[in-house]
Amino acid sequence: MSKTETVTLNNGVKMPLIGYGTYQTPPRVTERCVAEALRAGYRAIDTAQCYGNEREVGLACQKSGLSREALFLTTKLWACHGYQDTLRSIDRSLKKLDLGYIDLLLIHEPTGDVYEIYRAMETACQEGKLRAIGISNFLEDRYLDLVNHCKVVPAVNQVETHVFRQQRKLRGLECQIGTRHESWSPLACGRNGIWKHPTLLEIAGHHGKSVSQIALRFLTQQGIIVIPKSTDSEHMRENLASLDFDLGPEEMGAIGQLEAGQSLFGWW
């Protein structure tokens, strides 16, 4: 099992630097995949209401034999509009996961009355239902707007981030304010020729690592939380092992030049 590194969120909660993502993992295979990820050494699992697999994630965690304190569960709100329906939505996720509490709850995207949705999350956090709260897909303007209207600074902002979209400006703002940056699709879903990119292949060859491991380490070495997804147990272990080495300054600089300046998924 690879070493587990953590980052400390702005409220003192520790979160694993690398987790296991369950986006587009059908419920029928989610329980098996999460169980394999936990056996491989992952301790953070990322799901969402709209993925339709919260129940299966919870079941895998319950059957893992690991203590609740050893796990870090993230889920995300979907189709909430205001304060009261958000409170009900949080309770539905708690019931489906059936793990007592949620470690990190995110607004999935900036829709609905974001101020009231976030206020409900603050309430649920005060009640002990959530350990930390944050956001997802909030770029600079929406992020700053929420920060100026909330009491609790978002602990995490989960945004498309990979070697081709590095989010330097947003990360700079988050660093000043105290929000941790988290990457969804840290391997760009295999797009943009990432697996055959000459820069990544050369660096991978130098370290005896895979392109996936190089792309992930580029992010985690900067303190960016990542949640790679795979349904293959060998790839799960390979991704987790991306924490076992370091890239040199010149290698980090070379990968930094891969910034394309735009989303690969239509996220502005």
Measure the CA–CA gap between 120 and 93, rounded to whole angstroms: 14
**Catalytic annotation, residues:** 51
- b/e per residue, 83-103, with b = 16+ CB within 10 A? bebbbebbeebbebbebebbb
For 205-263, the DSSP string reads HHHT--HHHHHHHHHHTTT-EE----S-HHHHHHHHGGGSS---HHHHHHHHTT--SS-
Measure the CA–CA gap between 139 and 194, rounded to whole angstroms: 24
- What six digits make up the tokens of 67? 């203590």
